[in-house]
Structure 1
């Protein structure tokens, strides 16, 4: 448990908890027993091989400890950081000299066929296959499996030449493990935005450990509350329940199911103690406010399944709990709020619907677009806007920012009208209009994405401007109004994490919609997977498009070489794990977009395999090195999501020749098997085009709002320290550098959620 907590702290905070231990004697200075200083320097050198480094404070603190204590910490921390960047596994390449000497695709396939016929043991199988009309590449003995060992591959590659542009991630000095674990627990538990699946699992570990310690002052996200409630209940405490849905989420958490209520949960036979806790809590919620029964109908089927396990009829002392299940079965009327709102709108009672929505401010703001597109009388439109202005103070910061982002994407012009065009030109113009028609991008909580034409009518510009001003003013009111902001310019283009699946788990991963600079001439994608049981074939591909999203080309297992890059070769089975790479020389690249993607050709899905992840490296050509070098890794993203095609991010060439990465974190449904870039590029291109046109709210937007309230903004590149003058100091950057002023509040992508006002 101690090791797990320590790893959580390092991953989430880049701080290393200072371990207890005796002080070192510091006599020899050569790393011998008792010399913590020598061991700390060795630890620092080992970290640098993986692209990490100890801060000055951490190095000094470790130098004062006993050598054995430092060694134990080094072993644990090295394992953690190596896994963070994907260096905990062996990355072999099918073509041993990759990226050199990658053969022509057709010549390579013919070599595999010739090898099959040249070996008597394989010839009969090949001849039989040919007699039946086809020879499957996947059945050839030299196709799809490594033809050399990992050690043989390493021997063919020289050492990587160090570069000043190689990544160095600084690890900082933390407090003791208990203090750091509690601090992280309070940060995750009090988050104003939903957590992704990895962070939610980490929160569950921390909640169990910290259940008897300090608790978050507020838990605004209901899914997070369910995770904490499970820990409280299992420790014998009282869960925090104030809606009937809180009880349902808690039951899902206890069953190991989905607390977001997006996926069905199979409820087990709960112990009597758990049944009493759930029914008693449910009874107290409804007894305190019978109107909360109305929320039951939203998840009626789940309540019926849960009732079969809780047996509420056995507990007559909790009649209000029994009412919940009566509502779910339809035996007791309790219209849901949505049903009441729809009834009012269907009857044309807009003012009544607005009055009801005003009692639920979050729902009112989510319904603004729909209400304002209705054929309203002048008084009705003013009633909608007045209700929004009156209730904005009661809406969460995340909802305010989500609506603000939504409105920014509602300013796009509608598709041109082609109905009045001459007959001989109408079809051609209509086709062009359809291509240029604005698209809506839909992404569910787990990252599954699709695009559809924009069919909604416009929101009037004066109304949109009035609401935008309202939202900006309310968000600004909740942001810090004084102090100094030290801002890394690269942080300004990072999107705000307004949804739970805004970013996948991994290393140096940014929220969906973020932009980040790409440095280095060589861009190398890598993908690793290890199957759980069944034979599993994942394929790494790169789709390349022009500025008009046409002229598609690709690098994949069916096209191993392109003028700008090469593929490392196709691996079709990964019982011990397998890697694939794509190497691109950006200086030779003529197209505008590069979209790396991972296809499931066959076997286990992303959610089922033992492990799978994607990442990219950048380096200069003269650096050479192995196919995988940990300190050139810029990001590593876990592949865990629905569908059979993963789109982690897209690279875009700018007008000045520089490159930018735009973060997607998307999954497409795909086909059950045989997915490949050739068959999916049309739907992928349509989705990419819609995504590129979408605007995302970024850190830069909040910085502007804070500057408007009087905060001093300093664009800081870390080259010189900024002295404090007694005012609060906040640093915003992709990584926390060494040497910040004492007392600085640090915001990096790992805790970006803390920047969003509650």
Structure 2
């Protein structure tokens, strides 16, 4: 079982659990292992090479087979990436010439000619229905044979794998890290946590599981292994019930409850009874999810268990047969009466996190003077009881409430929900006064500074300072080299190549890769897509319209030839299954030097590979911006637009994307640099890492990847575990 979970350790930590086995001379196998890893852009650290070399060769070979499969999937090299135009990026035809050729082939074909002529008589012809369109005209092997080997370049990615502890120890540590995360996990990480929870149900738990949906996943694993679930609110019980039927543990969407086993029904009802018996005030939480409780009651049959009367009270409240005013209802009642001070005091005493989420509204509602001062005082009292993530979220919000556009510029507000769906609307909120914002900033920074650990010596890779803090795990997709929404990272290379891959589950599915080029005023310059195969900026690899065995599309861009300021890659669902329905779907980009040859997909040049699992029909993983000095930077978005049910095209969404991008890039995310500045103010000694010298004493290292040779006892923070930097 542990071996089956090792790939999670490699994917999440870039550490390789050391295999157990007899000693021997595994040096030759370790060298072959290292060489095979390098073809995928990975490498063994010197320490890991030495550890493996001391093991028997069969042990090293078995480890290599498992690890190679894991890293190839991590980078997207576990599938075959074919292209429509066999010589891509060379010899891509003009779009009109290509369609003319497809039409000529159809006319020459006897079987298709009759049907084609009938469609022409109607005056309409769907070019995508032509026999030679949208299907690979050659095999993967034929395409590979036409490309030279990749010429290695100094800028090629090389991700180093470091040695971990034994497999059981590493898997347990990963479980505790995910379960104890101070931020909500993304869907993919929640799935990983579910696997780990079942394995560690009887093992050591983290000191705290602060995120309730994480706790629900852990409780499902514990219940399945016969261990008692960890619950201290009635909503924990509801989340666990959702987890048991693979429903929405966030409780933001509806869950369709199915029949539950008798042991599960007994566990849920017994938990409810004990919680309400210990504190009847917990019934006030029921009405917030009344409909879900009613649906769950239909499956639990609480009337069959009269010895748990307090559990039955929960469903009586949900049906409205018993009154239990919710905290939100009491707050709204106070606000209706104009008692802003009372509402703030109530939340500060009973739900300080909710006060922080509503403080902007309270400050805008409060009268200037004593009432506004009372709200600020409530915030100061509540601050020590609020999670670090919420403190930092409010800090980011307050920062972006500063400054207003000119009188002639309409104020716009960008909304992004937990699933990454984004939209823009008018911002009708009155501004917060400068003195109020400054007071809030001082309170929030002081509270954050108080909670941050004393790192002693900080060793920092400057590139990580512009990485956004992961205030929500849903602000980033899983994958390789993926950064949280709002992060900015430099792009160094001459050729930028986007790629997307998808494999349909049940229905014929067509996903389209496109790239939109905008100028400095967000006006359209051009685009590359299946309707515009080539332009000054680059070329498109050709449209694939079905993917029963998987399909890939590429766009090659010459950064020096781009005529605009922004490049916005995007993936559209043209037909069939959406991103969260397809069997597999991901996006990424590669960077190459102009002289590098190679296949269309070369894992060593992949800078990022990001899974696409959002709810919309248009995916916007990131955008690229050229600054005043001509340097390119990636701005991470991780967004999804609703789009149309089918036939989505870049031409139709370019205006809405431009509006969205303008709003998003007008916001500033809270970055690692913010926490570093607070630690420096508290006395931390900060040294910028030059990429070569290694300190002699233990340090706290913040960087894009773990360097070799750090002293024992050093704490390492990279994008893979960036959530550990957030104060609890």
For the aligned pair, the TM-score class normalised by the smaller chain equals over 0.9
Asked if structure 1 preserves the Cα contact closer than 8 Å seen for 2:455 and 2:700, the reply is no
- The alignment covers a number of residue pairs equal to 727
SS at match of 2:173: helix
After superposition, where does 1:72-221 map in structure 2 within 5 Å?
A: 72-221=62-211
Partner of 2:15: 15
Match of 2:707 in 1: 737
Runs ≥4 in structure 1, deviation > 4 angstroms?
none
| Range with bigger deviation, 441-450 or 642-651 | 441-450
1:138 alignment partner, SS class: helix
Q: Is 1:62 matched with 2:90?
A: no
Aligned equivalent of 2:418: 445
- Contact 1:445 1:500 survives alignment (8 Å): no
Q: Secondary structure at the match of 2:473?
A: coil
Matched, 1:567 2:557: no
Match of 2:375 among 353, 363, 384: 384
- What corresponds to 2:237 in structure 1? 247
Do the aligned residues in 2 keep the contact of 1:280 with 1:321 (CA within 8 Å)? yes
Instruction: Quote the Cα distance in structure 2 between the aligned partners of 1:410 and 1:473.
Output: 19
Q: Which residue of 1 aligns with 2:444?
A: 471
Q: Unaligned 5+ residue runs, structure 2? A: none
1:624 to partner: Cα distance: 1.5
Deviation at 1:157, TM superposition (A): 1.1
Contact 1:647 1:664 in 2 (8 A): yes
Where in structure 2 are the equivalents of 1:294-693 lying within 5 Å?
294-359=284-349, 360-413=351-404, 416=407, 433=408, 436-693=409-666
The 3-state SS of whatever aligns with 1:175 is strand
Counterpart of 1:750 (choices 717, 720, 728) is 720
SS of 1:192's partner is coil
Structure 2 partner of 1:32: none
SS of corresponding position for 1:112: helix
Task: Tell me how far 1:634 sits from its aligned partner.
Answer: 0.1
Residues 199 and 482 of structure 1: CA distance in aligned 2, closer, same or farther (over 3 Å): closer
Q: Secondary structure at the match of 2:338?
A: coil
* Gap change, CA 1:380 and 1:414, over 3 Å in 2: farther
Contact 1:190 1:217 in 2 (8 A): yes
SS, match of residue 165 in structure 1? coil
Conserved 8 A contact 2:340-2:365: no
CA shift at 1:283, angstroms? Answer: 1.3
Provide the C-alpha distance between the structure 2 equivalents of 1:47 and 1:500, rounded to a whole number of angstroms: 29
> 2: distance between equivalents of 1:2 and 1:372?
52
Instruction: Write the distance in 1 (CA, Å) between the matches of 2:707 and 2:410.
Output: 45
Query: 1:151, 1:717 → 2: CA distance?
Result: 43
Aligned Cα root-mean-square deviation (Å): 1.0
Q: Contact 1:439/1:454 (CA < 8 Å) preserved in 2?
A: yes
Distance 1:525 1:617, change over 3 A: same
Q: Report how far residue 438 of structure 1 moved.
A: 2.8
- The alignment's TM-score, normalised by the length of structure 2, stands at 0.99
What secondary structure does 2:578 align onto?
Answer: coil
Is the Cα contact below 8 Å between 1:482 and 1:709 reproduced in 2?
no
* Shift in Å, 1:375: 4.5
Which range is displaced more, 278-287 or 598-607? 278-287
State the Cα distance separating 1:102 from its structure 2 match. 0.7
Q: What does residue 680 of structure 2 align with?
A: 707
Q: Distance in 1 between matches of 2:145 and 2:81?
A: 14
CA–CA distance in structure 2, aligned partners of residues 211 and 600 of structure 1: 40
CA distance in 2, matches of 1:414, 1:117: 58
Residues 319-350 of structure 1: per-residue CA shift (max 9 Å, x gap): 22111111111111112111111111111122
1:6-45 to structure 2, matched below 5 A, reads 6-24=6-24, 26=25, 36-45=26-35
Contact 1:40 1:63 in 2 (8 A): yes
Measured in 2, the distance between the counterparts of 1:302 and 1:119 equals 59
* Distance in 2 separating the partners of 1:446 and 1:51: 31
